[in-house]
Amino acid sequence: MPNGKGGGWAAVVVWIAIQLTLTSLPGAAIPVSIDHPIDWIGHFGLYAGLGALIARVAALHGWPPRRLILAGVLISMGAALDELHQLFIPGRDAEFFDWVADTIGAIAGLTIGARLMTSRFQAWLR
């Protein structure tokens, strides 16, 4: 049974809100321009964090492993929509390899998060 009322969902919602805020900033509002491939680290990290938080929710709620696969597909689809939404933000664009970095990050986060939730650290992470 999950601890707390939200069972980990509050952290996921906050993380997604931060991601959407960052990806909705106009290009002129971003003080630093980071070129490829360095910015892919940021994409990877944001989606790895999201994947790890979703894996935590999965562990708290006792999801079967196949539901984590579905979560990975849904996160990847959300990342694609996020890239497309940036086409409508002044000074931003959609990049295929940004989406690839997002998807790889999500898979890594789901995998590492699931492993951590079955490790000796699980009590601390709940």
Write the DSSP assignment of 52-78 as a string of letters: HHHHHHHHHHT--HHHHHHHHHHHHHH
Structure tokens that stand for 75 in this block: 């996160």
120 pLDDT higher than 60: yes
Average pLDDT score over residue span 16-21: 96
Residue 75 CA neighbour count, 13 Å, CB half = 33
Asked whether residue 2 is assigned to any structural domain, the reply reads no
**Banded pLDDT at 73 (limits 50, 70, 90):** very high
- pLDDT band at 100; cut points 50, 70, 90: very high
Q: Kindly indicate the confidence band of residue 28, based on its pLDDT and cuts at 50, 70 and 90.
A: confident
What sign for the dihedral angle of Cα 78, 76, 17, 113?
A: positive
Binned at pLDDT 50, 70 and 90, residue 24 comes out as very high
Enclosing domain of residue 95: 9-25+36-125
Question: What's the CA gap between 24 and 18, in Å, rounded?
Answer: 10
Give the angle 96-102-103 at the CA atoms, nearest 5°. Answer: 90
| Residue-level pLDDT at 123 | 67
In a domain, 1, yes or no: no
pTM of the model: 0.89
What distance in Å separates the CA atoms of residue 97 and residue 53, rounded to the nearest whole number? Answer: 23
Q: Six-digit token pair at 79?
A: 């990342």
Burial degree of 78 (CB within 10 A; 0-12, 13-18, 19+): middle
| Domain total in the chain | 1
Mean pLDDT, to the nearest integer, of 34-60? 92
Q: Cα–Cα distance between 72 and 16 in angstroms, integer?
A: 15
pLDDT confidence tier of residue 4, bands split at 50, 70 and 90: low
Q: Is residue 75 part of a domain?
A: yes
The pLDDT of residue 76 is: 98
Omega before residue 37 within 30° of 0, cis = yes
